[in-house]
């Protein structure tokens, strides 16, 4: 399985997964033109996308979904709440309900979901498994609080994509009014670097080869702050893989999970 993080942050999020001949896009928080540019820069053909899976309806995750689905003639997958919100803006939509908490086959991948506590209609975190390699990826951003269900969902993943939205000190001293700061730090908001580190500490196991930090705030975080705090916790927990930080304005270098899994098995990763 190859992972293409096309961009992640407060201004847009999109992640493409490719295994064998299957391509799935998770979230489409950029306009179609931007998605095409980012996909080309990452080395993936956007026309290969067979479906779009949305974690929730907020614009930084769904902005380009309807237009891209029309252009590619592909379905949009999501929870009942997410699809209901999307249909308010776009009635003519090839929408497929994703049953939360159950296994589902989506574009050649096996997908499992759970609810998160973010302040959307029915937001979800997801795990995705590819068919032949059985590699498992977990994606969790805009999760509010790391619930027991979320931790159970993300166990035994070979790759974890987890939000590290803000540094708690920077948020307290930042430019946002108090009600916005309370919302970001509250149970309907986002994980701080410290909360992300605590979540990841519980998920480290010998076959976890890749961690990617997503959704960093432009105003209330810095990549070096997130990397320093989370790397220390990962290393103390025995993590022997690679840590990446997804930028907002350009794609992350593509990640080949099969290759990294082989390197980890040989003791070459880290």
- Give the pLDDT confidence of 201-218 residue by residue, as tens digits: 999 999 999 999 999 999
Mean pLDDT of the chain: 94
Euclidean distance between CA atoms 16 and 241, whole angstroms: 21
**Whether residue 253 has pLDDT greater than 60:** yes
Q: Considering only residues 91 and 23, tell me which one the structure prediction assigns the higher pLDDT.
A: 23
Q: Which of 7-21, 35-49, 86-100, 245-259 has the lowest mean pLDDT?
A: 86-100
**Whether residue 88 has pLDDT greater than 90:** no
Quick one: average pLDDT of 102-125? Answer: 96
Residue 263's pLDDT band, with cuts at 50, 70 and 90, is low
- The pLDDT value given to residue 268: 53
Quick one: average pLDDT of 171-179? Answer: 96
Quick one: average pLDDT of 7-33? Answer: 96
Here the tokens at position 48 are 């290969």
Euclidean distance between CA atoms 153 and 191, whole angstroms: 17
- The pLDDT value given to residue 131: 77
Residue matched to tokens 């989506």: 106
- The pLDDT value given to residue 27: 98
Note whether 25 and 112 are within 8 A (CB).
no
**Whether residue 115 has pLDDT greater than 70:** yes
Q: In 3-state terms, what secondary structure has residue 222?
A: coil
Name the pairing type of β-strands 22-26 and 12-19: antiparallel
Write down all domains in the chain, each with its CATH number in brackets. Answer: 2-265 (3.60.15.10)
Q: What is the pLDDT of residues 38-68, one digit of tens each?
A: 999 999 999 999 999 999 999 999 999 999 9
- The pLDDT value given to residue 20: 85
Quick one: average pLDDT of 235-262? Answer: 92
Euclidean distance between CA atoms 65 and 137, whole angstroms: 22
Q: What is the pLDDT of residues 3-13, one digit of tens each?
A: 999 999 999 99
Residue 267's pLDDT band, with cuts at 50, 70 and 90, is low
**Whether residue 269 has pLDDT greater than 70:** no
Name the pairing type of β-strands 210-214 and 242-245: parallel
- The pLDDT value given to residue 204: 98
Euclidean distance between CA atoms 24 and 6, whole angstroms: 13
Euclidean distance between CA atoms 88 and 82, whole angstroms: 10
Name the pairing type of β-strands 210-214 and 51-53: unpaired
Quick one: average pLDDT of 177-203? Answer: 97
């Amino acid at each position: 399985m190859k992972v293409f993080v096309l961009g992640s942050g407060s201004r847009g999020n999109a992640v493409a997964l490719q295994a064998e001949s299957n391509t799935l896009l998770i979230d489409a928080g950029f306009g179609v033109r931007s998605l095409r540019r980012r996909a080309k820069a990452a080395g993936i053909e956007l026309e290969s996308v067979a479906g779009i899976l949305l974690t929730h309806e907020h614009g930084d995750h769904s902005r380009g979904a309807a237009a891209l689905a029309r252009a590619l003639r592909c379905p949009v997958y999501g929870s009942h709440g997410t699809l209901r919100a999307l249909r308010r803006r776009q009635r003519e939509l090839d929408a497929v309900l994703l049953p939360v908490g159950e296994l589902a086959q989506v574009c050649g991948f096996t997908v499992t979901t759970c609810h998160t506590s973010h302040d959307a209609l029915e937001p979800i975190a997801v795990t995705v498994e590819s068919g032949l390699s059985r590699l498992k990826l977990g994606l969790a951003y805009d999760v509010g609080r790391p619930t027991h269900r979320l931790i159970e969902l993300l166990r035994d993943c070979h790759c974890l994509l987890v939000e590290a939205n803000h540094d708690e000190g920077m948020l307290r001293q930042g430019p946002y009014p108090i009600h916005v700061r309370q919302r970001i730090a509250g149970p309907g908001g986002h994980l701080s670097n410290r909360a992300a580190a605590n979540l990841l500490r519980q998920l480290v196991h010998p076959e976890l080869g890749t961690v990617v930090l997503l959704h960093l705030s432009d105003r209330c975080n810095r990549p070096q702050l997130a990397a320093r705090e989370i790397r220390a916790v990962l290393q103390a927990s025995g993590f022997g893989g690679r840590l990446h930080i997804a930028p907002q304005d350009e794609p992350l270098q593509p990640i080949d999970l099969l290759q990294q899994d082989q390197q980890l098995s040989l003791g070459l990763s880290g």
